Amino acid sequence: MNQMDIKDQKGSKLSILQTLRVHGSMSRIELTRLTGLSRATISISIAELIDLNLVHETDTRQSTKGRPATTLELVPRSRAIIGADLDNKTWTLGAFDLLGNVIDSMKINVNSFDPEAAFSTLADAVTKFRKGVEVPTVPLLGLGVPGLVDADHSVIRSAAELEWNNVEVASFMKKEIGWPTVVVNRHRARGLTECRYGAGRQFDHMIYIGVGTGIAAGLYINRQLLSGSLGGAGEIGHTTIEPDGPLCPCGNHGCLHMLAAGPAMEQEFRRLLRTTERSELYSGMSVDLHTIKAQDVCTAAAKGDELAQQVVKQAASYLGISMANLLNTFNPEAIILGGTIPNGSQLFVDTATKVMRQRAMSALLSGTEVKSAVYKEIGGALGAANFAFDKHISISFFS
């Protein structure tokens, strides 16, 4: 066998693995259609992947009478991929199989938001963590982080909320743990998890919007993340909603981030508490206003506090405007809402959806569903691991 044939076989096997990872189990006929490979190539490559214990065949009984259809599936726990997600001074670190199942996970507290300290803390944890994973591990790390990330070079260009700029993550982590590291915005990582395993798994074209201490979106076309030239596709938190609005750390005025993210909700609730006594939960109480968090506002709103409900509805309305703009621009099959704010407030989700439906083109609305994220804390780590593997998948990992 010549070198070209060997290269073609490796490429065929990788194409099959990636198709099964992205689209799930399927028949040989479906696999032939999606990969563009010939039936003969599919047959040879599948046999080799079965020998490597990466793929197996199952008989799936169809709803109609007849012979069971044979489907091809990835083997659970054949290999582990590792990812981590940074949110609210905590790393969530996880090991996952190629089907997205959690093999192991842990939390790591970050005591300093100096970037070197934050990533050094993670590196120490990864070194110990990977030794305890009982499945053969792919030597690759995916990280979900805040801010604008140059995914091609794994550099955090700007994370305004942390005051980070041009943080060379890949080179630092390579030196610390010896593994290649791929970095992606944490909300886009979480969206990838929803796209493949969660609320968006039935859609080919969807948008994920994460709302927490910041706001960002992930755009998924044919179940693949659209990154943009610098990895910044989906930075809706820094799109202008109110031209004369408050100054944002990014330097612009009236960004969505300053009107609908968690810190904006906290600031608005504190402002209203200082000027009114209409809060049923906080009126007359000795409360340090600076300790009130967006999650507290969401909880108060759910309990019927009118002032909190006003704040939640106002923030959600701004998000609904952005959702309508995204719907009109990209015409997705679904918009998935995730992050600490949507996860903690059904009122926020319902209000944003209502405003979106009021403002989007009616002709496009009927084809778009709005769903809440299924994966919570582990979603960012799982998505980051998948994103890293997408970019660096190699047959050498399975030899």
Token pair of 163 as six digits: 């005051």
Write the DSSP symbol of residue 185: E
Looking at the 3D structure of the chain, how many domains does it have?
A: 3
208, 331: one domain: yes
Radius of gyration of the chain (CA): 23
218 and 260 housed in the same domain? yes
- 334 shares its domain with 278: yes
- pLDDT by residue for the chain (399 residues), tens digit each? 434 344 455 789 999 999 999 898 999 999 999 999 999 999 999 999 999 999 999 876 554 555 667 899 999 999 999 999 999 889 999 999 999 999 999 999 998 889 999 999 999 999 999 999 999 999 999 999 998 999 788 899 988 878 899 999 999 999 999 999 999 999 999 999 999 999 999 999 999 999 999 999 999 999 889 988 888 899 999 999 999 999 998 889 999 999 999 999 999 999 988 887 666 666 555 566 778 899 999 999 999 999 999 999 999 999 999 999 999 999 999 999 999 999 999 999 999 999 999 999 999 998 899 999 999 889 999 999 999 999 988 878 876
Residues 233 and 309 grouped into a single domain: yes
CATH number, domain with residue 90: 3.30.420.40
Same-domain check for residues 257 and 363: yes
Q: At what angle do helices 3-23 and 379-392 cross, to 10 degrees?
A: 160
- Residue at which a domain ends, from 23, 41, 74: 74
**3-state secondary structure at position 156:** strand
Residue 6: phi and psi, rounded to 5, are -60, -45
Cβ neighbourhood burial of 105 (10 Å; 0-12, 13-18, 19+): middle
Do 285 and 341 lie in one domain? The reply is yes
Do residues 273 and 363 both lie within one domain? yes
- Owning domain of residue 20: 3-74
